Amino acid sequence: MPVRAFAAQSATSPLAPFTINRREPLATDVAIDILYCGVCHTDIHFARNEWGFSQYPIVPGHEILGRVTRVGAKVTKFKPGDLAAVGCMVDSCRACPSCQRGLEQFCHKGSTFTYNGEDKHSGGLTYGGYSQSIVCDEAFTLKVPTNLNPAAAAPLLCAGITTYSPLRHWNVTKGQKVGVVGLGGLGHMGVKFARAFGAHTVLFTTSPAKADDAKRLGADEVVISRDADALAKHASSFDFILDTVSADHDLNAYLALLKLDATMVLVGAPANPQPISAFSLFMPRRHLAGSLIGGVAETQEMLDFCGAHNIACDIELIRMDQINHAYERMLRSDVKYRFVIDMASLKG
């Protein structure tokens, strides 16, 4: 069925109106009328082929929240009228060891991502949430707590799970001292989650102007990371650090803040390799790791946690036709802290 969307036709072309086709719902499918779609920096990377493997046309968007319109005959979790969400994946092999552990994001055969992936049902490419509607298998469709603002909940499908997953995996808990590096779309959620987990939360930023906002979001302390003396005061004192920064920066300076056997996890993705001194890990024994979104079950756990603790993203709502300007603003860090597209603006 034809659906209105916005797409990039090449790495240099702006996003513009485009028509895509969605499949008719199969027996285990959920058809969703998209209400809101968050705008992730990954959307820019793909639209502009900054990672080198984009296929065109691209309809970005993997922070999708909407209303169920139809369900297949074998669907049991959803009915028409329900709020539902789709995140970064729409399928996986479901049989490999990672999938069997609920870690579909690490599928050995490769997850089917929500856009710019291989569409195993219709052929061609998968198309994302910059569109009127989407059809997704029930197994990769998520329930949304009804107490949350649906527009502010949409970015939880990427920004939320990207920060929740490592905090949960490395067992961040009450009484620990946790650092969050960077206060952007990811960082502001890292602060909210670390605080909700009961940790003493410290925000690291290069910008003194962000201090008040960091504290409003839940940070107990703010450290200006350009101040070497301020960093030194926290040497060897952190149980965990979540690094959300995608620009080049000195990882060794933050590794020096970890306790014995503590871990720093990267969720930002700098384009260039970042140098690491072996001695930053040796003395004392420290760990540097990475993390990528979460599986379906953990994403649902995160949404339920957000519902229970009334956690959502700080957003700026935009129209679909403002997306190219929003991309330019994102590159200037001119958003607090996530753009969300009101998809009613696409439906006309």
CATH of the domain at 11: 3.90.180.10
Is 286 inside a domain boundary?
yes
The SS3 assignment for 348 reads: coil
CB 16 within 8 A of CB 59: no
Is 304 inside a domain boundary?
no
209 and 121 in a common domain? no
Q: What is the pLDDT of residues 50-87, one digit of tens each?
A: 889 999 999 999 999 999 999 999 999 999 999 999 99
Taking CA atoms, 71 is separated from 29, 82, 136, in Å, by 6, 11, 10
Q: What is the pLDDT of residues 13-29, one digit of tens each?
A: 999 999 999 999 999 99
Is 27 inside a domain boundary?
yes
Is 297 inside a domain boundary?
no
Is 179 inside a domain boundary?
yes
Query: Measured between alpha carbons, how far is 37 from 273 in angstroms, rounded to an integer?
Result: 31
286 and 176 in a common domain? yes
Q: For the chain, give me the number of helices (H) and strands (E)?
A: 12, 17
Q: What is the pLDDT of residues 92-143, one digit of tens each?
A: 999 999 999 999 999 999 999 999 999 998 889 999 999 999 999 999 999 9
β pairing state of 2-7 and 16-21: antiparallel
Residue 348: the pLDDT is 62
145 and 13 in a common domain? yes
154 and 6 in a common domain? yes
320 and 197 in a common domain? no
Residue 1: the pLDDT is 86
Cα dihedral value 313, 318, 319, 322, nearest 10: -130
45: number of Cβ within 10 Å: 17
Is 141 inside a domain boundary?
yes
Secondary structure letter of residue 271 according to DSSP = S
Tally of structural domains, the chain: 2
- The per-residue pLDDT of the chain, averaged, comes to 96
7 and 154 in a common domain? yes
Q: What is the pLDDT of residues 237-295, one digit of tens each?
A: 999 999 999 889 999 999 999 999 999 999 998 888 999 999 999 989 999 999 999 99
Residue 272: the pLDDT is 87
CATH of the domain at 181: 3.40.50.720
239 and 187 in a common domain? yes
CB 118 within 8 A of CB 90: no
Is 302 inside a domain boundary?
no
316 and 256 in a common domain? no
12 and 96 in a common domain? yes
Percent of the chain with pLDDT over 90: 94
Is 306 inside a domain boundary?
no
Structural domain including 149 reads 2-158+312-347
Work out the average pLDDT over 185-211. Answer: 96
Work out the average pLDDT over 303-326. Answer: 98
239 and 123 in a common domain? no
Helical spans, DSSP H, in the chain:
41-47, 97-100, 150-153, 159-169, 187-196, 211-217, 228-232, 251-255, 278-282, 296-309, 323-331, 344-347
Strand partners, 230: none
164 and 31 in a common domain? no
165 and 58 in a common domain? no
Residue 347 has pLDDT above 80, yes or no: no
